[in-house]
Amino acid sequence: MKIIFSYIAEKEIRESFQYYEDQAKGLGIKFIEVIDKTIRLILFNPKGFPEKHPPHREVAMTKFPYLIIYEVDEMTETIFILRVFHTKRNPRLKYK
What pLDDT, on a 0 to 100 scale, did the predictor assign at position 28? Answer: 98
What distance separates the 2 farthest-apart alpha carbons in the chain? Answer: 42
What is the per-residue pLDDT across 29-52, written as a single tens digit (0 to 9) for each? 999 999 999 999 999 999 999 998
H or E element at residue 2: strand 2-5
- Please state whether the peptide bond connecting residue 55 to the residue before it is cis, i.e. omega within 30 degrees of 0: yes
Domain of 34, in residue numbers: 2-93
Q: What is the CATH number of the domain that holds 48?
A: 3.30.2310.20
β-bridge partners, 69 = 58, 83
The whole-model pTM stands at 0.92
C-alpha of 12 from chain center:
9
SS3 of the chain: helix, strand, coil, percent, to 5:
40, 30, 30
What is the per-residue pLDDT across 3-21, written as a single tens digit (0 to 9) for each? 999 999 999 999 999 999 9
| Number of structural domains found in the chain | 1
